[in-house]
């Protein structure tokens, strides 16, 4: 399948940053400056490209993104900042566009100096390789421990115009974002004002990338952004447009699909689990409970072992810091209730629930019975393979 968005070109090449000679340098380019919204890691330790891109993103305009994998350019001091700025400058010069419109991103090992000479030497090839159907190649070039590229492409008629949207993402470990996640880039030819784009993007982030966890870690390099170049020539979408709801749904659908792909490709993951917390007093409380369960290593290892150990789940609920009423808590695996009003429902129900855990995908429903707010988090199990991957990450 060709992933093409009108007005966008992309490329991905092997520059030699990684030792295994796979693709490691990507470029996404819009033929015209695009309205832009971006969110970044809330980790206090931010990589150099994040610091550079945060400042540039304040203009809400972008025309190109240069991304390298294999090196995070994090904790590299002033030299790292200069390298990130040079990466942007060289791409801008070759593209013949304003450097302020070129953002940068990096992913990989923390603490090593970026091989900027290698990147500099390969920028011309990267630019010359730009094609309308180069999005998949770019998606391949941003991967680290991922097992495959993550791309979602959709078309939708909004008003009288056909809108195209395509998202790419990378991520399989260090996945518990806060206002952003890993690396993700969404491209659309829709015409939408920047302020409205930022609002709907952040709303979408909350129920997608901010609602997943593989290992409870927030990276130094997390970044997600959306570019809208207006090539569809639809009436510009504003905060009061009738078409805003349709565009929001389209964007959120892409974000949720990408975030699900990331969890399913989690390092060593064998299970994809939805933790659904319902009937909470506040959304914030529901989300805290969901993440407490999703991040519990005891819960995650029970998922891997296909063990209906609801005691670990109710313990994680109680440890969440939320003022729950233990005597009102219900826990179900899909529609099989194993805890009612804080008490186990018996061995037969547990045996039925254990069969649910044998599936590759399933849902855990936690009913707090204290209100009407809900939250959902996607997570994965924790397997020996996760330990192996991360124990050998730098070797």
- Which active-site residues does the annotation give? 181
DSSP at 223: E
H/E element holding 361?
strand 361-367
**For residues 349-386, b (16+ Cβ closer than 10 Å) or e, as one string?**
bbebbbebbeeeebbbbbbbebeebbbbbbbbbbbeeb
Give the separation between CA 312 and CA 325, rounded to whole angstroms.
17
- Nearest CA to 9 out of 134, 144, 117, 165 is that of 134
Give the separation between CA 300 and CA 274, rounded to whole angstroms.
12
Give the separation between CA 372 and CA 302, rounded to whole angstroms.
29
Give the separation between CA 339 and CA 289, rounded to whole angstroms.
16
Residue 194 and residue 61 in contact, taking contact as beta carbons nearer than 8 Å:
yes
Helices (H), the chain: 48-57, 77-95, 116-128, 135-141, 194-206, 244-264, 283-294, 297-304, 310-318, 347-356, 384-391
**CB-neighbour burial class of residue 282 (10 A; exposed 0-12, middle 13-18, buried 19+):** middle
DSSP at 234: P
Residue 395 and residue 360 in contact, taking contact as beta carbons nearer than 8 Å:
no
């Amino acid at each position: 399948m060709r992933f093409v968005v009108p007005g966008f070109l992309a490329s991905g090449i092997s520059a030699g940053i990684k030792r295994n000679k796979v693709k490691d340098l990507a470029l996404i380019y819009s033929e015209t400056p695009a309205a832009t919204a971006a969110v970044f890691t809330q980790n206090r330790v931010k990589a150099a490209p994040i610091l550079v891109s945060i400042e540039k993103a304040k203009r809400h305009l972008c025309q190109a993104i240069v991304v390298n994998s294999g090196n995070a350019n994090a904790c590299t001091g002033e030299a790292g900042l200069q390298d990130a700025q040079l990466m942007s400058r060289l791409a801008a010069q070759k593209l013949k566009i304003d450097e302020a419109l070129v953002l940068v991103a990096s992913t990989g090992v923390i603490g090593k100096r970026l091989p900027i000479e290698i990147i500099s030497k390969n920028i011309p090839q990267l630019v010359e390789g730009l094609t309308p159907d180069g999005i998949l190649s770019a998606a391949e070039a941003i991967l680290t421990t991922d097992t495959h590229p993550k791309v979602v492409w959709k078309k939708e008629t909004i008003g009288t115009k056909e809108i195209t949207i395509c998202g790419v993402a990378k991520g399989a470990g260090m996945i518990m974002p806060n206002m952003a996640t890993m690396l993700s880039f969404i491209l659309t030819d829709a015409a939408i004002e920047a302020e409205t784009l930022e609002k709907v993007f952040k709303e979408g982030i909350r129920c997608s990338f901010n609602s997943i966890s593989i290992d409870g870690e927030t990276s130094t390099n997390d970044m997600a952004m959306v570019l809208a170049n207006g090539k569809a020539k639809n009436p510009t979408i504003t905060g009061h447009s009738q078409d805003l709801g349709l565009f929001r749904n389209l964007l959120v659908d892409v974000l949720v699909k990408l975030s699900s792909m990331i969890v399913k490709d989690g390092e060593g993951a064998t299970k994809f689990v939805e933790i659904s917390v319902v009937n909470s007093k506040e959304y914030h409380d529901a989300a805290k409970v969901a993440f407490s369960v999703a991040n519990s290593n005891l819960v995650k290892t029970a998922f891997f072992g296909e063990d209906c150990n609801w005691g670990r789940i109710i313990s994680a609920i109680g440890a969440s810091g939320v003022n729950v009423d233990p005597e009102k808590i219900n826990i179900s695996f899909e529609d099989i209730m194993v805890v009612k009003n804080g008490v186990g429902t018996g061995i037969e129900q547990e045996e039925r629930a254990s069969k649910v855990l044998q599936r590759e995908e399933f849902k855990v429903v936690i009913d707090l019975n204290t209100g009407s707010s809900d939250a959902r988090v996607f997570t994965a199990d924790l397997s020996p393979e996760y330990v192996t991957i991360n124990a050998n990450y730098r070797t």
